[in-house]
Amino acid sequence: MSSSTPEPEAASNRGASPPAALVVAATSHSYGKRKALENVGFSVTQGSFSVLLGLNGAGKSTLFCLITRLFATQRGTIRIFGFDVNRAPSEALRRLGVVFQARTLDLDLTVMQNLSYHAALHGISGQATKLRAGFVLDQVKMADRAREKVRDLSGGQMRRVEIARALLHRPRMLLLDEPTAGLDIKARADILKHVRGLVASEGIGVLWATHLIDEIEPGDDVVVLHEGKILDRGNASEIAARAGAAGMGPAFTALTGAAGFEGEPK
Amino acid sequence: MSGSTASSTPGTQGLGLAQYAICLKGIVWREVLRYWHQRERFVSALVRPLVWLFIFAAGFRSVLGVSIIPPYDTYVLYEVYITPGLIAMIELFSGMQSSLSMVYDREMGNMRTLLVSPFPRWFLLTSKLAAGTAVSLAQVYAFLLVAYFWEIEPPSPWGYLTVLPALVLAGLMLGALGMLLSSLIKQLENFAGVMNFVIFPMFFASSALYPLWRVKEGSPWLATICELNPFTHAVELIRFALYEKVNFLALAVVLGAAIVFLGAAIAAYDPSRGMLRRREGP
């Protein structure tokens, strides 16, 4: 491309294992005395669906704040396609799409007006916006609602537009913070199916934060986060096998149960 | 494999000047659209100064005499005197209201999407400020239009044009103050505190309602506070500009205050030293 900076992901290990879309290395964060994250490290490869599994208060939100650079990283490094979030924020953020837990769409504006605004935030305008917005809306099956006000959409449809919004600038890495919160079973399954479809068709890396175990499939990469620490990570079926459990649900209970009793007098 | 490497470069091709312009335009456009959908906000922003103009100023017309002070060449009616103060009040409320909307945005997640944009934060915050100021300009000119029918107008129509740069600068300063406050306010409810501790003191301890020489007669120390209040200088800048004149002291103070407030707001929204992380505490 016109950019003179070499693409780190292209320079290193070309042809070997697929490049890491997101690398979180030895990251710790505390609010005053309370430690929110302790030595957290994992990576998400391009074209994989990774789940960040943890209960409320496990540190998922803090981690998302660090990856999206709302807070500076206190200790450790976070890289998106090789670009340090704190040292090269612009390059890193360009490659990242984020679906926040909170709604970011203006209810009074139409779907298209919302998308135009968010495209502008990435320097995209005019015809390019129209084409791109049409494409991403089509991907989440919302193309026929482009002219409607967001207020008139259902919760699940709004979420799908949020995903379309996050994809506008063609990110290769997508973060989703509890994207199915507050949705009914049907809408939840829909969203999950759409995002899994994106991984398969577009080859983007996805980090899906959730506390819902039934959103995990056996082949997914899972990072189990509990009270700011990673208890286990790897393939869901491997984690279950290591924990000696029949599935991810019992494995999670076993892992968090063990962590909970650790250090306590018996 | 090579195909996937090529497509790993995002659609945006670096951030040139054109992209910055697109981003600024997008932020202003959204603010205007949002504003358009909240017309009751526009009406209330207009009613407030008009109540002051039609009721307060009319009632005090004979109580408060205003002598000939610059920029006025003759005796002026009290309504004429307080008009610049009311214009600045519109901008003050508008600036504080956009800070309210930033707190709201932050709770809703809109602020988050703004801050994950690849553009530098100072640019995003300055654009947001420009958008808020653009909206306040529309309010001011609507007010001036009503005032015109009340026979309050600058000495020549050129005044409407020469006041524009003063309005922009005063709007930026007050908006930057609001932005700074928005980084300090933790929740929406605290906005009532902003009314009590920022808007009212700034408005009343200024030259908006009474000339400073009159304040000095009553209370010299209050006059000193008024002189130190940047809002006084915003009012005077606008007052002079309506008469096609420049008050250089006011210009310097407003410009300086705008830079300081904006700089502090940008620092407050900086991830490493900002106030943002503090509010996330337990």
**CA of B177, closest CA in chain A: separation in Å?**
21
Is residue B233 over pLDDT 90? Answer: yes
The rounded Cα B87 to chain-centroid distance in angstroms is 10
Running DSSP on this structure, what letter comes out for residue A214?
G
Running DSSP on this structure, what letter comes out for residue A5?
S
Is residue B142 over pLDDT 90? Answer: yes
**B54 phi/psi in degrees, rounded to 5:** -80, -35
Give the model's pLDDT for residue B9: 45
Listed range (A234-243, B80-89, B183-192, B248-257) with the worst mean pLDDT: B183-192
Residue of A214, A219, A175, A192 whose CA lies nearest to A78: A175
Map residue A57 onto helix, strand or coil.
Answer: coil
CB proximity B279 to A under 8 Å: no
Is pTM beyond 0.95? Reply is no
CA distance B53 to B86: 8
Is residue A260 over pLDDT 70? Answer: no
Asked if B9's CB is within 8 angstroms of A109's CB, the reply is no
Give the model's pLDDT for residue A256: 86
Map residue A42 onto helix, strand or coil.
Answer: strand
Asked if A96's CB is within 8 angstroms of B25's CB, the reply is no
pLDDT tens per residue, range B12-25: 456 889 999 999 99
What is the greatest pairwise CA distance in chain A? Answer: 67
pLDDT tens per residue, range B31-77: 899 888 888 888 888 999 999 988 888 887 776 666 778 888 888 88
Give the model's pLDDT for residue B276: 53
Can you count the helices (H) and strands (E) in chain B? 15, 0
- Cβ atoms of B66 and B76 within 8 Å: the answer is yes
How far is CA B89 from each of CA B96, B114, B150, B235, rounded to the nearest angstrom?
10, 28, 19, 9
Give the model's pLDDT for residue B66: 67
| Type of residue found at B207 | S
Helix B78-108 crosses helix B39-51 at what angle (to 10 degrees)? 150
pLDDT band at A261 (very low <50, low <70, confident <90, very high): very low
Mean pLDDT of chain B: 84
| SS3 per residue for A110-177 | EHHHHHHHHHHCCCCCHHHHHHHHHHHHHHCCCHHHCCCEHHHCCHHHHHHHHHHHHHCCCCCEEEEE
Residue of B112, B99, B89 whose CA lies nearest to B208: B89
pLDDT band at A18 (very low <50, low <70, confident <90, very high): low
CA distance A141 to A160: 8
Upper half-sphere CA count for residue B123 (Cβ side, 13 Å): 19
CA distance B13 to B235: 44
Q: Which of A228-232, A260-264, B94-98, B141-145 has the highest mean pLDDT?
A: B141-145
ipTM, interface predicted TM-score of the complex: 0.82
Asked if A62's CB is within 8 angstroms of B30's CB, the reply is no
Residue range B128-147: mean pLDDT, rounded: 94
CB proximity B10 to A under 8 Å: yes
How far is CA B260 from each of CA A125, A246, B227, B265, rounded to the nearest angstrom?
33, 61, 18, 9
Element housing B237 (H / E): helix B230-242
Give the model's pLDDT for residue B194: 76
Percent of chain A with pLDDT over 70: 90
**CA of B190, closest CA in chain A: separation in Å?**
21
How far is CA B186 from each of CA A26, B104, B105, B265, rounded to the nearest angstrom?
31, 10, 12, 15
| Type of residue found at B234 | A
End-to-end CA distance of chain A: 61
Percent of chain A with pLDDT over 90: 53
The residue of chain B nearest to residue A149, with distances taken between CA atoms, is: B37
pLDDT tens per residue, range B163-220: 999 999 999 999 999 888 887 776 656 667 777 888 899 999 999 988 888 888 889 9
Which residues in A lie closer than 8 A to residue B27 (C-beta atoms)? 117, 120-121
- Cβ atoms of A186 and A154 within 8 Å: the answer is no
**CA of A142, closest CA in chain B: separation in Å?**
21
For residue B105, the tally of other CB atoms under 10 A from its CB is 20
Give the model's pLDDT for residue A149: 95
β-bridge mates for residue A83, sequence order: A80
pLDDT tens per residue, range A34-80: 888 999 999 999 999 999 999 888 889 889 989 998 888 889 999 99
Q: Where are the alpha helices (DSSP H) in A30-79?
A: 60-67
CB proximity B27 to A under 8 Å: yes
Which residues in A lie closer than 8 A to residue B9 (C-beta atoms)? 1, 7
Is residue B253 over pLDDT 70? Answer: yes
CB proximity B280 to A under 8 Å: yes
| Type of residue found at B94 | S
Residue range B236-244: mean pLDDT, rounded: 96
CB proximity B267 to A under 8 Å: no
Q: Which residues contact A266 (CB under 8 A, 6 or more apart)?
A: none
**CA of A248, closest CA in chain B: separation in Å?**
30
pLDDT tens per residue, range A85-135: 989 999 999 999 999 888 889 888 999 999 999 999 999 988 899 999 999
Give the model's pLDDT for residue B96: 87
Using CB atoms within 10 Å of the CB of residue B255, give its burial: 0 to 12 exposed, 13 to 18 middle, 19+ buried: middle
The residue of chain A nearest to residue B271, with distances taken between CA atoms, is: A71
pLDDT tens per residue, range A164-184: 999 999 999 999 999 988 888
Of B10, B14, B117, the CB nearest to A2: B14
Token pair recorded at residue A44: 């998400």
